[in-house]
Amino acid sequence: MLAGKRILLIIGGGIAAYKSLELIRLIKKADGAVTPVLTRAATEFVTPLSVSALAGEKAYTDLFDLTDEAEMGHIELSRSSDLVVVAPATADLMAKMAGGHADDLASTLLLATDTPVLVAPAMNVRMWLHPSNQRNVATLSDDGIARVGPDEGDMACGEFGPGRMAEPAAIFDAIAAQIADGPLSGKKAIVTSGPTHEPIDPVRYIANRSSGAQGTAIASALAALGADVTFVTGPADVAPPLGVRVVPVETAREMLDAVNSALPADVAVFAAAVADWHVTSQSGDKIKKTADGAPPSLALSENPDILAHVSQLDEGRPKLVIGFAAETNDVHANATAKRARKGCDWIVANDVSPETGIMGGSENAVIVIDESGADEWPRLSKERVARRLAERIAEALK
């Protein structure tokens, strides 16, 4: 699966460093090559000898000496891989990355690299939640650095919460999603997902019942086929997929901005249940009940139609634009009309009447409509719908 691929694995100094040994084993089992680098602190948790024995290669450490530099310079080392993985990514290492520091081998490599980077954070829950760490996490995400985890659970320090490093198998999946060769390798995809929230006042909003499950499954399936996916998600119930660039948004207008920033792309899939309207003048203060009991009236304005906007771009239109049609009646006719109205290539239509259990449920029954007609799929899990759609996309982009 990873034959011909090389991972520069930077092991940070945390108790989770022992899990990086298992990660090396998984990468090797999938025929990938690993160049291991340990920070000075990491050598307190795992030995360079065990790391290098598992990797079958020299383990570089902070004691990077002139002999090493003559063998392989740090610039070359930073660029001679397909992916740089930082696992565990400690709070300190992520702060260095966010700040652009280069005061040891690991941070110098991370600053010098032009290769995609994936971090697997691991730290105490308070450290993870600390505003300065959260700022660094946001900076790294803005810099295009992919992240897997952290997980929530019991921690080595005896506390409970987010901060535990993702399991090696999950890190491996994220690595595979980033670099494994697939029919969509080298293709860029944008997927919108989830509901949008349109604020009424600081505490209330207009929303819908979308869980984000279908969009999440589609992003995951595209990444598994090798696509480079930007996942623009409203406040969803389900966790975002691994191995994609996640852009969280709240409103339809923010979603449009995020999609515009993610362009150009080869394919864009609009699975989000975007609110059609926003409250025209959002109140800065919580709206209070009045003495006479008269309810407030909410004036609504139409939201931008993101799918129509992208479908009708004169320049930079993705080769394939796919919309969804959530209908409660006349699914086929309404969806066909919607495809024409919006100008997208395919419409994935589904019946979201409450009795179908589709919205917020785990299954979907869709009709895929393109210029040549309608293709009705059986009722399947949302994951299988996603896989089938991703394969159809790969075929169309060949």
Nearer to ligand CTP, 92 or 305 (CB): 305
Rounded Cα distance, 248 and 200, in Å: 20
Classified as helix, coil or strand, 361 is: coil
Classified as helix, coil or strand, 139 is: helix
Nearer to ligand CTP, 8 or 307 (CB): 307
Angle at 92 between CA 91 and CA 93, to 5 degrees: 95
Minimal distance in Å, beta carbon 306 to ligand CTP?
3
Nearer to ligand CTP, 146 or 274 (CB): 274
Please, which of residues 35-94 interact with ligand CTP by CB under 6 A? none
Rounded Cα distance, 134 and 140, in Å: 10
Exactly one of 60, 128, 172, 324 binds ligand CTP (CB under 6 A); that residue is: 324
CB 139 within 8 A of CB 100: no
Q: Which stretch binds ligand CTP (CB under 6 A): 68-76, 117-125, 146-154, 300-308?
A: 300-308
Exactly one of 17, 224, 306, 331 binds ligand CTP (CB under 6 A); that residue is: 306
Angle at 302 between CA 300 and CA 303, to 5 degrees: 120
Please, which of residues 251-270 interact with ligand CTP by CB under 6 A? 252, 270
303 part of the interface to ligand CTP, by CB under 6 A: yes
Number of residues that bind ligand CTP (CB under 6 A): 14
Minimal distance in Å, beta carbon 384 to ligand CTP?
20
The interface mask with ligand CTP, positions 171-210, x = CB under 6 A, is ---------------------x------------------
Rounded Cα distance, 258 and 175, in Å: 25
Angle at 172 between CA 170 and CA 176, to 5 degrees: 115
In this structure, which amino acid lies at residue 308? A
- What does 158-180 look like in DSSP terms, one character per residue? S-EEEEEPPPHHHHHHHHHHHHS
Rounded Cα distance, 318 and 358, in Å: 28
Active site residues: 157
326 part of the interface to ligand CTP, by CB under 6 A: yes
Nearer to ligand CTP, 94 or 389 (CB): 389
Exactly one of 37, 59, 325, 394 binds ligand CTP (CB under 6 A); that residue is: 325
Please report, as ranges, the residues that interact with ligand CTP according to CB under 6 A. 192, 252, 270, 272, 274, 276, 303, 305-307, 323-326
